[in-house]
Amino acid sequence: MRQRQTTSWAGRGAARGTRLRVLIESADPVLAVSDFGAFANAGIDVALCHGPVDHPTECPAVRGESCALAAGADVVLFDLVASGADVLEATRQLRGAAPVVLRTVPPGFDPEGLEVLPAAASVTGQIDVLRRAALDGRRSEDRSS
């Protein structure tokens, strides 16, 4: 079993905490790559995970293993339609209270406790949502410490 290509945080110059780190979890490479470029141009460190190729258990988080990409992110931008509910649930379990933002919500899915991008969000609007979610997540961590 293999996971689709990922891009890691390794080699990124910014120290943890100085720049927003966003993990884009999407099996749709076109969307992920377009977001990658836009977010990177806005000064955000971005990592990509295109998710499992054939089955959700190819994702280390689904198997209950650690994931350096998820652990290193301030916020995860998740494509539920492309990556699936199993991967989302495993990512949420792995990340605890850290924020996950959904790109879209399929019919019948309850997004309770998750931030959802507005349907017509511009790139700037998406970046604003990600920054706000990361800030809220940091505040939540500070309160629990």
What class does CATH assign to 21-144? alpha beta
d(CA 16, CA 24): 18
**What residue spans define the domains of the chain?**
21-144
pLDDT per residue of the chain (145 residues) written in tens, 0 to 9: 344 445 555 444 444 457 889 988 887 777 767 778 888 888 898 888 877 766 666 778 888 888 888 888 899 988 887 778 888 888 888 777 678 899 888 888 888 888 888 877 788 888 999 999 988 877 776 666 5
Q: Strand order of the sheet with strand 45-49?
A: 45-49, 21-25, 75-78, 100-102, 115-116
Measure the CA dihedral 49/55/57/61, to 10°. Answer: 20
Q: How do residues 8-49 score in pLDDT, each as one tens digit?
A: 554 444 444 578 899 888 877 777 677 788 888 888 988 888
At 4, list the tokens.
């689709």
